[in-house]
Chains A and B, each alone.
Chain A
Amino acid sequence: MLERVTRLSEYEWEVPVGTVPGMRVPGRFFLSDSLYKSLESGAVQQLANVATLPGIIRHSMGMPDIHWGYGFPIGGVAAFDHETGVISPGGVGFDINCGVRLLSTPLTLGDLEHRRELIETLYKTIPTGVGAKGPVKLSIGDLEDMMVKGAAWPVNQGYGLPADLDHCEERGCMAQAESHAVSAKAKQRGMPQSGTLGAGNHFLEIQVVKEIYDPDVAKAFGIHPGQICVMIHCGSRGLGHQTCTDHLKVLEGATKRYNIVLPDRQLACAPLSSPEGKAYFGAMAASANYAWANRQMIMHTTRTVFEKMYGIDYESMHLVYDVAHNVAKMEEHSNEGKRIAVCVHRKGATRAFGPGSPDLPAGYAKTGQPVIIPGSMGSSSYLLRGTTTAMERTFGSTCHGAGRILSRSAAKKTINGAKIKNSLSREGIIVRAPNDAAIAEEAPGAYKPSAEVVRIVDALGISNLVARLEPLGVIKG
């Protein structure tokens, strides 16, 4: 598979039509020489597979954190024509609207006393890991409301500020949500889990702003050197997982009915205009809304912990932005000189809308949207901004994180979780997790260097660096 790849420029590579039978457009991905060394054949195959889907426009694209997943590669972006194109859960993933938000505080490093106690309190207050149940008991009516209103639901209940909503992608709510398209089973899973972090690579991290690359934009984002921030990474929990499972089954049947030939069953799909495609889109949007509400509730808990421990006002902690990593959206983009309506799938990729784009709050209209790129545990995270180049080249998209290079089993075999915890502790980073294996799986050595990933998106111009944040403490699911 890799032998078919051709290099177009320093950071741009092409997977030509014909690499797998039925490709409608070429695949394109963005990597440096050093990142190319860890590119798996499976990721190229998946990028090529996506190019076979009906209605795909321009390219099947891979961001610099591209790696082998299922269905789409992780780091995969593809836009489909709203009339002739399809929608596929394989381009979104099981964790619908897995995403990340950044909360800024008025504290600086010197103010952050009793750091171990802070981490311990957050770990005890925010339910994490397998089997965790949420702090708020939802009725079925609450849940339905949450799936329709998204982040506005907790804000209306007092778990946040109205201004928070302006600083969420889509204002924390996809209007196309259809809660009736979400199964009873998915709702049953979602009811007890709202406000829980989950497991795996999900985390809450206390960070300090270490370096500013673009002072004007950083100022517009409310970020300054030495500032303490909190990054929250989680998704739609069992509700989203079940929604993907349920609709994958329906769409597998639909794929056959609409005579779509697929190279991978996980790419099961249906025309955007079909009843099956619409049902999945509505259910996916409802699950995405649940995820925004979930991150909002976790942020509320975080604010109350900081308020109590450091005597600062709840209102003085601002949501910088909230972005989705796994989602499909109806958007308008330019293609060959025309404005077209497309469904953009981002699977392990971030929206990176540039200056003047719709959906940006007034404060970010001139800068472009904040793009939040979490590092692996113990390594730097980055704040970037969306650009006009991203609008022109990647349907307003960029990378989402570091991207794995080591499998979880290899990480567990070669990395000792307890040792990692101790060595991070020596560097002043406190890690709290349910077990050491969870730490080994997500250790920095299991991921591509996030600095190299963001260097490439910045060099390509599909987003630009604004600030670097370093971890001080992390709670893991």
Chain B
Amino acid sequence: MSYEELDHTADIRLRVRSPSAESLFAETALAMMKIVYGESRPGEEARTIELGAGNTENLLLDFLSEVLFLSEVENLVFSTANVHITGNSLTALLTGEPFDPERHRGGTEIKGISYSGLRIFKEDEGYVLDILFDV
């Protein structure tokens, strides 16, 4: 996983790098899981997300918001994500384990994913994302 924490006083701002847009989406979702729950193990639970949006940035925001929602209401900590993007639509398969209060309280809650400073851009080695989570 390739991400670094950028400076921000109140919240968590990440820069994520990945070879493709699809892996960028997947890695950001898993980075989010690590922020909320700390370390987790692979698990048998699987969930699918399908959605569409007007552009790539909105697709990413909607996807990440859905991951947060599913994780919270289904009490799941995801450790893998496979994302397929066609145009402005996305299908993702996430797998993970049930939330265990003994092992998954090493992180902090993400309240939301902000539009502030959100950008996705291409570099020679692939895609770069700057994103801010309200914690």
Contact = CB atoms under 8 A, between A and B. Distances in A.
Nearest to B12: A408
Given A264-B116, A408-B12, A409-B5, A70 B132 contact: yes
A245 interface: yes
Majority secondary structure of chain B interface residues (helix, strand, loop or mixed): mixed
A406 B101 CA distance: 29
A409 B112 contact: no
Interface in B72-109: 72-73, 75, 99, 101, 104-109
B134 A131 contact: no
Contacts of B101: 129, 131
B105 A435 contact: yes
Interface residues of A, number: 46
Contacts of A90: 116
Interface in B104-133: 104-109, 111-118, 132
Nearest to A243: B112
B36 A189 contact: no
Given A71-B114, A245-B112, 10 more contacts: A70-B115, A70-B116, A70-B132, A90-B116, A94-B112, A130-B107, A189-B69, A200-B135, A248-B112, A441-B108
A95 B135 CA distance: 9
A185 B105 contact: no
Nearest to B111: A94
Interface in A20-73: 40, 42, 67-71
Interface of A: 40, 42, 67-71, 74, 90, 93-95, 129-131, 185, 188-189, 198-200, 238, 241-242, 244-245, 248-249, 252, 264-266, 268, 404-410, 434-435, 437-438, 441, 477
B37 interface: yes
Contacts of A93: 111, 134
A71 B112 CA distance: 13
Contact of A67 (B10, B113, B116, B118): B10
Contacts of A435: 38, 105-106
A406 B9 contact: yes
Contacts of A434: 105-106
B109 A188 contact: no
A40 B69 CA distance: 32
Contact of A404 (B10, B38, B109): B10
Contacts of B132: 70
- Shortest 7 CB-CB contacts between residues of A and residues of B: A94-B112, A265-B115, A70-B116, A94-B111, A199-B109, A434-B105, A70-B114
Interface size, B (range): 35 or more
Interface of B: 5, 7-12, 36-38, 58, 61-62, 65, 69, 72-73, 75, 99, 101, 104-109, 111-118, 132, 134-135
Nearest to B4: A409
Nearest to B73: A188
Contacts of A266: 114-116
Given A68-B10, A241-B111, A441-B108, A408 B135 contact: yes
A68 B116 CA distance: 11
A238 B71 CA distance: 12
A130 B73 CA distance: 12
A434 B109 CA distance: 12
A252 B115 contact: yes
Contacts of A198: 109
B122 to A, nearest CB: 20
A434 B101 CA distance: 9
Nearest to A69: B10
Contact of B69 (A42, A130, A185): A185
Q: Which of B75, B116, B135 has the most CB of A within 10 A?
A: B116
A281 B101 CA distance: 35
A71 B99 CA distance: 32
Q: Which of A42, A200, A241, A249 has the most CB of B within 10 A?
A: A241
B9 A404 contact: yes
B36 A130 contact: yes
Contacts of A408: 11-12, 108, 135
B10 A437 contact: no
